[in-house]
Amino acid sequence: MKNLLTTKTGKLAVAGVVLCALGPLLALTGLVTGFPAFVVSVAGLLLCLIAFIASCVGVARRPRAPFVWPALVSVGPVIAGAIIFASMSGHPRINDITTDASAPVALANGEFPAANGPLIASHYPEVKPLLVAAELPAVRAALAGIIANDATLTLTHTSDDGFVAVATSGVFRFKDDVAVRLDAVGEGNQTLVNVRSRSRSGQADFGVNAARIRSLLDRLQSAVGGAG
């Protein structure tokens, strides 16, 4: 352990671990939030990966050389990073998701990219409008309660036919915009619910927006029931 900071590999491992922890710390304290904080942690993961590979090579060549501690220090972040990035794979490179691409829910500052529609349909077929067997005022009241009790959502606008909120992620404090549109259908005893969730930063959301929409609609369906 005393040799950890006396080699380049050891210094890389320590620097990587520090950066990995620094990203969330900066975000949680509000000094840097969102993508910059995420980049800090990714840089730390890359340093840990370099240190781990270099340590393994060093141990293989000279088992008694001071490479064991850098390997042990850096292996934790490397494994955690691999698990996280593996869970992020398989998602399309988009960050704007809606339940109805042909008539997307309106959000300020940007139109819905038409090219996202086919990708949503192929990767997230479960993200679709929810038909609720309840009148619009009852659905609106249920949604208001769901949003109010969700610690990740901050309501920014309300109207007779919907809501707009800002979603904040737990670690890096990413900000996403969420909008809900309610339409009375039939004789007014049913309500069609559409949701849109869009990330403010980055070009890919790794499935976060689709998961948020599914969660919101699932909770609404549990609260008031759904017809399809």
Provide the pLDDT confidence category of residue 172 given band limits of 50, 70 and 90. Answer: confident
What the block records as the tokens of 193 is 């619910």
* Helix (H) / strand (E) containing 153: strand 153-159
The model's pTM is 0.80
CATH of the structural domain 96-224, one choice from 3.90.220.20, 3.30.70.980, 3.20.20.100, 3.30.310.220? 3.30.310.220
Provide the pLDDT confidence category of residue 226 given band limits of 50, 70 and 90. Answer: low
pLDDT exceeds 60 at position 33: yes
Q: What is the longest distance spanned by two Cα atoms in the chain?
A: 80
pLDDT exceeds 80 at position 23: yes
The answer to whether 98 and 189 have CB atoms below 8 angstroms apart is no
d(CA 3, CA 19): 21
d(CA 225, CA 228): 9
pLDDT exceeds 60 at position 3: no
**Phi, psi for residue 167 in degrees, rounded to 5:** -100, 135
Q: Where are the domains of the chain?
A: 8-88, 96-224
